[in-house]
């Protein structure tokens, strides 16, 4: 039992930091005994609504982030690698179709949300591959273990009002909590929501939960 402690993780696969936060949540959900709820949203909508802009668009910050990615990959043990054409892949192409697909998966086959999300991140942030074309999305679904016929049926629904509205609803829900970027965790502790932004606030979250932080790879230090 999670003692009523719910952690909502708002994320978008276009965000490398979201991948880090996602993997940490997956590693800690049983250790901390919390109810983790994946909330796939649309980062583009969050940025536009809050007047935020991608940090990499600041030249000095972008150069630092590219340099920092190798260190983050090693520390978090997540295979991060900067896309060859960051601006084209992340800023121009974006992730709307991918996040609609994740949303559609959550609606009808929630058991595949975790592996499908991970495979989409792997494509864009590890293998420098496309995540916008139908065949790209289907390839990610296949690697995530979804049967091909099931994945095709889900993909056929991503332009439906139900899927579009669900993604919009999740994004608007994030905004109501004060989310301005991703990943964002909304921790519901004793009925009170608290926002934690970024992939580097888990020590603070652990403190608030009354739990221990064993580092980004708890399996090693926890044993």
Residue 27 in contact with residue 158, Cβ under 8 Å?
Answer: no
For residues 27-41, average pLDDT: 96
pLDDT given for residue 1 in this prediction: 43
Whether residue 126 lies inside any domain: the answer is yes
CATH number (domain holding residue 115): 3.40.30.10
Whether residue 48 lies inside any domain: the answer is yes
Number of folded domains in the chain?
1
Average pLDDT for the chain: 93
| φ, ψ dihedrals at 25, nearest 5° | -60, -40
Look at the alpha carbons of 22, 106, 172, 123 in this order and tell me if their dihedral is positive or negative: positive
Whether residue 131 lies inside any domain: the answer is yes
pLDDT given for residue 220 in this prediction: 65
Task: Summarize pLDDT for 78-114 with one digit per residue, the tens.
Answer: 999 988 887 777 777 889 999 999 999 999 999 999 9
Whether residue 197 lies inside any domain: the answer is yes
pLDDT given for residue 221 in this prediction: 59
pLDDT given for residue 61 in this prediction: 86
SS (H, E, C) 2-62: CCCCEEEEEECCCCHHHHHHHHHHHHHCCCCCCEEEEEECCHHHHHHHHCCCCHHHCHHHH
Residue 185 in contact with residue 21, Cβ under 8 Å?
Answer: yes
Rounded Cα distance, 161 and 85, in Å: 32
Task: Summarize pLDDT for 191-214 with one digit per residue, the tens.
Answer: 889 999 999 999 999 999 999 999
Whether residue 26 lies inside any domain: the answer is yes
For residues 39-53, average pLDDT: 94
Domain that holds residue 53: 6-222
Rounded Cα distance, 160 and 79, in Å: 33
pLDDT at 174 over 80: yes
Whether residue 1 lies inside any domain: the answer is no
Q: Above pLDDT 70, what percent of the chain?
A: 97
Rounded Cα distance, 193 and 179, in Å: 12
Apex 165 CA angle, 163 and 167, nearest 5: 70
Whether residue 169 lies inside any domain: the answer is yes
pLDDT at 40 over 50: yes
pLDDT at 38 over 70: yes
Query: Token pair for residue 209?
Result: 């939960």
For residues 148-170, average pLDDT: 98
Rounded Cα distance, 171 and 43, in Å: 8
Select the more confidently predicted residue: 79 or 220.
Answer: 79
Whether residue 155 lies inside any domain: the answer is yes
């Amino acid at each position: 039992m999670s003692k009523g402690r719910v952690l909502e993780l708002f994320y978008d696969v276009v965000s490398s930091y979201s991948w880090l936060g996602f993997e940490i949540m997956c590693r800690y959900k049983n250790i901390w005994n919390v109810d983790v709820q994946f909330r796939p949203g649309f980062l583009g909508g969050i940025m536009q609504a809050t007047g935020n802009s991608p940090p990499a668009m600041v030249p000095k910050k972008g150069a630092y982030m590219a340099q920092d990615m190798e260190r983050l990959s090693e520390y978090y043990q997540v295979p991060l690698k900067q896309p060859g054409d960051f601006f084209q892949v992340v800023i121009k192409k974006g992730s709307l179709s991918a996040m609609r697909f994740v949303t559609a998966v959550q609606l009808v086959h929630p058991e595949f949300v975790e592996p499908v999300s991970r495979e989409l991140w792997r494509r864009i942030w590890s293998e420098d591959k496309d995540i916008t074309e139908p065949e790209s999305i289907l390839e990610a679904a296949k690697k995530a273990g979804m049967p091909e016929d099931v994945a095709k049926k889900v993909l056929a629904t991503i332009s439906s009002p139900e899927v579009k509205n669900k993604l919009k609803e999740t994004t608007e829900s994030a905004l109501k909590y004060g989310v301005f970027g991703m990943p964002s965790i909304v921790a519901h502790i004793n009925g009170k929501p608290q926002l934690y932004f970024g992939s580097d606030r888990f020590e603070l979250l652990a403190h608030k939960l009354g739990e221990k932080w064993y580092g980004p790879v708890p399996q090693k230090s926890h044993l």
